């Protein structure tokens, strides 16, 4: 009896594994790479690029990939700038190196990729989860940035802001059991959760045509699900380690959020603008979390609000005005 049960369980597991691999290939086939690749430290990163002029580099949040910023890329390109959006490590068509890939490590990889692409002193625009990545970049590479725009950015960790260290993330990232779960039950369960998750992320704005289909195909993939869950677990410790240094940010900064953002972004933004010297705060009425998708003109407006630093000026030379 026991061998029969064990054999049935193994057969079921193998069947689910094979079905997940087939379903994933079929679902992602309509979304091949649409941009170019750059390899840094053995990691292949995919990116989209439009236009020319002042480089503006976009880092997406925890949702999908560089396409989250496609409307904003095209908007800045139309305004005479060079828009570049990366699939972050493990998302979209980018590889993810061996762990740990903390926000600080992701900032280092993006900096290395920009050097490889000969991109000098870009404006860095970060959305949602990538807020802490962009701040790590600004702290470690201030002389390589012309400005920083944080859009609906998550920037603080700790118990008061966390709530993300959940059992699903822990299970999904386990070495053996996690691999089995990601390649069997978590993929279809993730696909079932996507519509509600997407609606909540865009609320109160409507979900753009085609976005839900793309999210349902790409987000639950075993590799991207793993990258996302590891990012979730790494967020709070990384933000806690970095946040005491936010007052050291010397890069011109604009912080943007929608007043109806359903997450804790407004709280983060109001705290952050008090800590970064001379930072500007831009609040968008009746707007939610996905500003780069549904209101790309807001991103362009934030970029244009950045003060222009004279060529050759050092980031450390920027005057620091204490905030009360």
Angle at 18 between CA 215 and CA 175, to 5 degrees: 75
* Sheet strands side by side (includes 43-51): 36-40, 43-51, 82-86, 55-59, 123-127, 147-151, 253-258, 280-284
pLDDT of 160: 47
pLDDT of 321: 36
Residue 216 lies in a domain: yes
Residue with tokens 């010397």: 250
pLDDT digit string (tens) for 300-320?
A: 999 999 997 554 454 443 433
Residue 28 lies in a domain: no
Helix 130-140 with 222-242: angle, nearest 10 deg: 50
Residue 80 lies in a domain: yes
- Taking the C-alpha atoms of residue 34 and residue 181, their distance in angstroms, rounded to an integer, is 30
Beta bridge partners of 39: 44
pLDDT of 2: 66
Residue 322 lies in a domain: no
Residue 6 lies in a domain: no
pLDDT of 18: 77
Parallel, antiparallel, or unpaired for β 123-127 and 82-86? unpaired
Residue 156 lies in a domain: yes
State phi, psi for 129 to the nearest 5 degrees: -55, -35
What does 3-41 look like in DSSP terms, one character per residue? Answer: HHHHHHHHHHHHHHHHHHHHHHHHHHTT----SEEEEET
Collapsed DSSP state (helix, strand, coil) of residue 212: helix
Q: How many domains does the chain have?
A: 1
Task: Provide the CATH number for the domain around residue 252.
Answer: 3.40.50.1820
Q: How many Cα atoms within 13 Å fall on the side-chain side of residue 259?
A: 5
Residue 30 lies in a domain: no
In sequence order, which residues have a C-beta less than 8 Å from that of residue 40 and are 6 or more positions away? 109, 112, 113, 116
- Taking the C-alpha atoms of residue 90 and residue 308, their distance in angstroms, rounded to an integer, is 34
Q: Containing domain of residue 94, as a range?
A: 61-119+131-307
- Taking the C-alpha atoms of residue 207 and residue 198, their distance in angstroms, rounded to an integer, is 7
Residues of the chain with pLDDT under 50: 5, 9, 160, 163, 311-312, 314-324
Residue 23 lies in a domain: no
pLDDT of 286: 95
């Amino acid at each position: 009896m026991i061998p029969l049960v064990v054999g049935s369980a193994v057969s079921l597991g193998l069947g689910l594994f094979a079905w997940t691999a087939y379903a994933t290939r079929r679902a992602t086939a309509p979304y091949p790479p649409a941009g170019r690749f750059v390899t840094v430290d053995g990691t292949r990163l995919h990116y989209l690029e439009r236009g020319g002029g002042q480089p503006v580099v976009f880092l997406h949040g925890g949702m999908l990939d560089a396409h989250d910023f496609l409307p904003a890329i095209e908007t800045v390109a139309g305004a005479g700038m060079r828009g570049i959006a990366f699939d972050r490590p493990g998302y979209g068509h980018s590889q993810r190196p061996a762990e740990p890939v903390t926000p600080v490590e992701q900032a280092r990889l993006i900096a290395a990729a920009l050097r490889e692409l000969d991109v000098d002193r870009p404006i860095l625009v970060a959305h949602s989860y990538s807020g802490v990545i962009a701040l790590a970049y600004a702290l470690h590479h201030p002389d390589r940035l012309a400005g920083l725009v944080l859009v609906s950015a998550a920037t603080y960790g700790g118990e008061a802001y966390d709530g993300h260290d959940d059992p699903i993330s822990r299970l999904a990232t386990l070495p053996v059991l996690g691999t089995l779960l990601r390649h069997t039950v978590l993929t279809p369960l993730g696909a079932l959760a996507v519509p509600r998750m997407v609606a909540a992320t865009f609320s109160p704005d409507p979900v753009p045509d085609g976005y839900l289909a793309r999210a349902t195909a790409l987000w639950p993939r075993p590799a991207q699900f793993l990258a996302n869950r590891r990012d979730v677990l790494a967020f709070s410790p990384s933000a806690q380690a970095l946040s005491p240094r936010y007052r050291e940010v010397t890069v011109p900064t604009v912080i943007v959020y929608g007043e109806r953002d359903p997450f804790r972004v407004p709280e983060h933004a109001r705290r952050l603008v008090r800590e970064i010297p001379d930072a500007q705060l831009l609040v968008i009425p009746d707007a939610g979390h996905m500003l780069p998708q549904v209101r790309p003109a807001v991103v362009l407006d934030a970029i244009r609000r950045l003060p222009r630093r004279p060529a050759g000026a050092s980031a450390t030379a920027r005057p620091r005005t204490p905030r009360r």
